[in-house]
Structure 1
Amino acid sequence: MANITLTIGGREFMLACADGEEPHVTALARMIDEKLAQAGVVGQTEPRMLLFASLMLADELHELRRRAAPPVPAPAPVPAEPVPAIPEVLVHELSRIAEYVENLADLLEQNASND
């Protein structure tokens, strides 16, 4: 086992790691220290710095996983059903009803303006 000193957020931490892992662990600590510096939380309490570093690294991991995930295929378009033709008699009847409703609206407007 090797003992190394890591500097994170302006604080030094002693850590034991497997022999030969010192450069890798030191590089990881440097990444965390850089994240804290980017967030401007260097010098905060240790728990607060740990929280910020964890959130930033988790966000980065989440984004990498999202990018690596296979795209979700779009649902197949539902073929549009043909709209049946409206019978001519119904078109005529709807026009007559629309005209009747418009006349009623005109009468209501006239009565409202007379009051």
Structure 2
Amino acid sequence: MAKADIHIRGRSYSIACAPGQEVRVKRLAEQLDARLTSISSAVGDIGDDRLLLIAALALLDELDASRQSDVPSAAERRAALLVGAMAAKVEALAARLENGGSV
């Protein structure tokens, strides 16, 4: 098991991680530290526990929104079905024309 030495809000931590993931863990810790600094300046001194709770909820909210935006809307699904149906009709017409038929 590898270790990454990180710094959050002026404190140092040694975090176990998978080998080769040390740089990624440090980069994530830097992002978390920046987020905590931003939240702390916005809400004031509320204690580390509450600050981490707010940061965790904010990050989970962003993750949830990201996952929801990856799901196609009903309109997008209908449009995809229509495009697929139209493509099938064009292919059928092309096949008829290639076989000497008429449109």
**Corresponding position of 1:39:** 39
CA distance in 1, matches of 2:17, 2:27: 13
**Corresponding position of 1:3:** 3
Match of 1:61 among 60, 63, 67: 63
The offset of 1:44, in angstroms, is 5.2
- Give the residue type in structure 1 aligned to 2:32: I
Deviations 1:42-84 (A, max 9, x none): 87533223202201111111221222121134xxxxxxxxxxx
After superposing on structure 2, the runs of 4+ consecutive aligned residues of structure 1 that deviate more than 4 Å are 41-44
Specify the structure having the higher radius of gyration (Cα). 1
CA distance in 2, matches of 1:20, 1:50: 27
Going by fraction, where is helix more abundant, 1 or 2? 2
Q: Is the 8 A contact 1:9 1:49 kept in 2?
A: no
Q: Identity over aligned residues, as a percent?
A: 36
The SS at the match of 2:33 is: helix
How many pairs were matched up? 73
The SS at the match of 2:74 is: coil
The offset of 1:28, in angstroms, is 1.2
For the aligned residue pairs, the C-alpha RMSD in angstroms reads 2.2
The SS at the match of 2:73 is: coil
* Structure 1: segments with no counterpart, 5+ residues: 74-115
